[in-house]
């Protein structure tokens, strides 16, 4: 009887160990993605770019007036990231003063977004991972251990799931607008693009697309408000009434700029025409430019922005089920 009990106990604990502990092969099959893996496409990582090169506006010769770009202003310095050059690596790590940030562009979804280069108080060198989620750029660290979705602006694999990235204020505009209104800007460029890659970049960054600016409202379910660029035939402002904050979307398809700001409490903002880059004024005569900066020079009066960026309509519809297209 004692021998029988010993045998039964051995069998029981052996079976229990086999049930509770998955095999190594099974553990490897478990997906590390926090999103539906069926929307993931894998590819080779792009080149890592840091300490990028810049030229003065008059030194740039191979951009057309209609070519689009991201414009950033940090600590009184303006930098432009033409999609024509940004398309080469899709991700560029940069720094102004003490601010580390990342400029990114996805040629599939036509979305350009700037992110903070610091995650959880740690500087993270980022690359275009080669992966796509819903045909959109996926950023990663150099070791490709943590992954972030560009359009979701959140981690989707590895520790990045708990390390969301922050958007840095930037807006899309045209090369013509930069030349005319921001001649002091420093322009990111690539000096080793071949003629073939130049032609490819032109194809991937062509201005002949129907692009939309979208604003994200976060809640139980993320909602996207989208506006066709053609809605802004001239300087135009739309209002979005959120539960917590009111938002204005401002754009001008002639100057090819599109942006969004939160409306300060008890403020009534209206458009200022024919004074670009000044675009907004309140009832007390206070004015703000396209970067959200007060003409009074008080940094505390700078307008805050919701999460917004530009992308093709199909991309907005692919990413967000709750979407409202404004006319």
At residue 1, does pLDDT exceed 50? no
Tell me the pLDDT tens digit for each residue of 141-194. 999 999 999 999 999 999 877 778 899 999 999 999 999 999 999 999 987 654
Residue 204 — pLDDT band, cuts 50, 70, 90? Answer: low
Q: What token pair was written down for 39?
A: 């929307």
Please give the Cα distance from 42 to 10 (Å, whole number): 46
Say how far apart CA 50 and CA 219 lie, in whole Å.
35
In this prediction, residue 167 carries a pLDDT of 95
Per-residue pLDDT at 135: 98
Strands 211-217 and 307-312: antiparallel
The model's pTM is: 0.86
Helices (H), the chain: 2-20, 24-29, 83-86, 175-181, 195-204, 313-319
Q: Which two tokens stand for residue 177?
A: 């607008």
Alpha carbons 109 and 210: distance in angstroms, whole number = 11
Measured between its terminal Cα atoms, the distance across the chain in Å is 83
Residue tagged 């300087």 (tokens): 235
CA–CA distance from 93 to each of 114, 158, 198, 230, 236 (Å)? 10, 21, 21, 32, 33
Give phi and psi for 25, each to the nearest 5.
-65, -35
Helices (H) and strands (E) in the chain, counts: 6, 26
Q: What is the pLDDT of residue 297?
A: 66
**DSSP H or E segment with residue 141:** strand 136-141
Beta carbons of 67 and 172 less than 8 angstroms apart: no
| pLDDT in the model for residue 14 | 41
Dihedral of the alpha carbons of 238, 243, 245, 251, in degrees to the nearest 10 = -20
Phi–psi pair at 256, nearest 5 degrees: 55, 55
Confidence band of 120 (pLDDT split at 50, 70, 90): confident
106 vs 90: CA distance, rounded Å: 6
As a whole number of angstroms, the distance between CA 258 and CA 303 comes to 15
Residue 277 preceded by cis peptide, ω within 30:
yes
The closest of 84, 90, 88, 87 to 65, measured between CA atoms, is: 84
* Closest to 188 (Cα-Cα) out of 83, 258, 313, 303: 83
Cα dihedral 27, 28, 32, 33 in deg (nearest 10): -120
How far apart CA 54 and CA 115 sit, in angstroms, is 19
Q: Which band of pLDDT confidence, cut at 50, 70 and 90, is reported for residue 32?
A: confident
- Going from N- to C-terminal start, the domains of the chain cover 37-186, 210-326
Q: Are 258 and 296 in contact (CB under 8 A)?
A: no
Two tokens at 150? 């560009």
C-alpha 145/C-alpha 147 separation (Å) is 7
Residue 133 confidence (pLDDT) above 90: yes
Q: 223-277 pLDDT, tens per residue?
A: 999 999 999 999 999 999 876 789 999 999 999 999 999 999 888 999 999 999 9
Q: What is the pLDDT of residue 146?
A: 94
Q: What is the pLDDT of residue 2?
A: 43
> 311: part of which helix (H) or strand (E)?
strand 307-312
Location of structure tokens 């992954």? 147
Quote the CA–CA distance of 312 and 110 in Å, as a whole number.
Answer: 6
């Amino acid at each position: 009887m004692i021998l029988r009990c010993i045998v039964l106990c051995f069998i029981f604990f052996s079976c229990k160990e086999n049930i509770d502990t998955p095999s190594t092969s099974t553990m490897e099959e478990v997906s590390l993605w926090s999103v539906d893996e069926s929307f993931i496409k894998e590819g080779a990582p792009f080149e890592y770019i840091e300490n990028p090169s810049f030229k003065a506006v008059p030194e740039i010769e191979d951009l057309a007036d209609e070519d689009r770009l991201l414009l950033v202003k940090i600590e009184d310095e303006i930098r432009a990231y033409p999609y024509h050059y940004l398309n080469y690596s899709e991700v560029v790590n940069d720094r102004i003063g003490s601010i580390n940030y990342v400029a990114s562009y996805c040629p599939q979804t036509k979305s350009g977004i700037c992110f903070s280069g610091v995650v959880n108080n740690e500087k993270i060198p980022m690359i275009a991972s080669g992966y796509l989620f819903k045909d959109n750029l996926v950023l990663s660290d150099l070791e490709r251990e943590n992954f972030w979705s560009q359009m979701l602006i959140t981690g989707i694999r590895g520790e990045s799931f708990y390390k969301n990235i922050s958007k840095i204020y930037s807006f899309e505009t045209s090369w013509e607008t930069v030349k005319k209104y921001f001649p002091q800007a420093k322009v990111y460029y690539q000096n080793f693009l071949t003629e073939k890659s130049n032609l490819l970049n032109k194809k991937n960054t062509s201005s002949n697309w129907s692009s939309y600016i979208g604003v994200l409202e976060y809640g139980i379910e993320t909602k996207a408000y989208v506006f066709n660029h053609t809605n802004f035939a001239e300087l135009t402002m739309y209002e979005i009434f959120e539960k917590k904050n009111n938002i204005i979307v401002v754009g001008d398809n002639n100057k090819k700029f599109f942006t969004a700001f939160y409306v300060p409490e008890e403020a009534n903002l209206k458009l200022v025409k024919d004074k670009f880059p000044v675009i907004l004024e309140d009832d007390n005569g206070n004015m703000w430019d396209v970067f959200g900066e007060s003409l009074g020079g008080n940094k505390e009066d700078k307008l805050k922005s919701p999460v917004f960026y530009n992308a093709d309509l199909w991309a907005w519809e692919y990413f967000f089920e709750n979407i409202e297209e404004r006319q």
